[in-house]
Amino acid sequence: MAESVQTAAETVHDVHRDIDRILIGREEIARRVEELAEAIRGDLEPLSRDAEIVLVPILTGSIIFLADLIRHLPQKLRIHMLAASSYAGRRTKSSGEPIVGSLPEDLKGKHVLIVDDILDSGTTIRRIRAEVERRRPRSVRACVLLRKDIASALSTKCEYIGFEIPNEFVVGYGLDYDGYYRNLPDIGVPKKEAL
Ligand code: IMP
Ligand code: MG
């Protein structure tokens, strides 16, 4: 394992070998996810009395974030996973138009919370928000764990943001490169030679 890699806790994963540096450690992630959930919980509380709450997490990057987040949300809610991909295969740049799976038709009158791992070009969140809005929900909000410091991400409407990060390609805590590194418990920048 490289000297530069500092893991926040005891488990050193094989995949840490390909990581140049940890950007956000697991304890920091856990603390922030709890804070985010607290904000969402407060906002959902009055809403849950008048209509059903549906979470729409975007596969596959949001799975770990979602799993941690929902355990801090006590409201009655449903989850409808949605497949979307703008980084398919061995890419570190968005391909532009994301490929989006099918949304349920019955979102009418419901409160929808879109959950994704990261806001980059913003096309995924913008496109899914527009699709959700066409189904006449009562409300639509979006929540991402990370937002890159680039104009397209900053200008995309998003109600809940975990961390602002520099414009670098990151992996871990659900985020992948070519399908790998999702199981890394921390968020890190991969070594150039790993890409
Ligand atoms: P956007 O549509 O360009 O905002 O891209 C959002 C999607 O691209 C996210 O859901 C991620 O799956 C993927 N993505 C964007 N940036 C990164 C990154 O730095 N690492 C891994 N995946 C990323
Ligand atoms: Mg994704």
**10-residue averages of pLDDT along the chain (195 residues):** 50 84 97 98 90 95 98 95 80 72 88 97 94 95 98 98 98 96 97 92
Residue 1 has a pLDDT of 44
Does residue 120 carry a catalytic annotation? Answer: yes
Residue 104 has a pLDDT of 81
β-pair type (19-24, 53-59): unpaired
Q: pLDDT tens-digit profile of 138-171?
A: 999 999 999 999 999 999 999 999 999 999 999 9
Cα–ligand 2 centroid distance for 42 (angstroms):
26
Task: Please tell me if the CB atom of residue 62 comes closer than 6 angstroms to any atom of ligand 1.
Answer: no
Residue 2 has a pLDDT of 45
Cα–ligand 2 centroid distance for 9 (angstroms):
26
Nearest 5°: CA angle at 83, between 95 and 16?
Answer: 70
In this structure, the residue with its CA closest to atom 16 of ligand 1 is: 120
Residue 3 has a pLDDT of 45
Read off the pTM.
0.91
What value does the CA radius of gyration of the chain take, rounded to a whole number of Å?
17
Cα–ligand 1 centroid distance for 50 (angstroms):
34
Q: What is the secondary structure of 128-178 as a DSSP string? A: HHHHHHHT--SEEEEEEEEEESSHHHHTS--SEEEEEE-S---BBTTB-BT
Task: Please tell me if the CB atom of residue 163 comes closer than 6 angstroms to any atom of ligand 1.
Answer: no
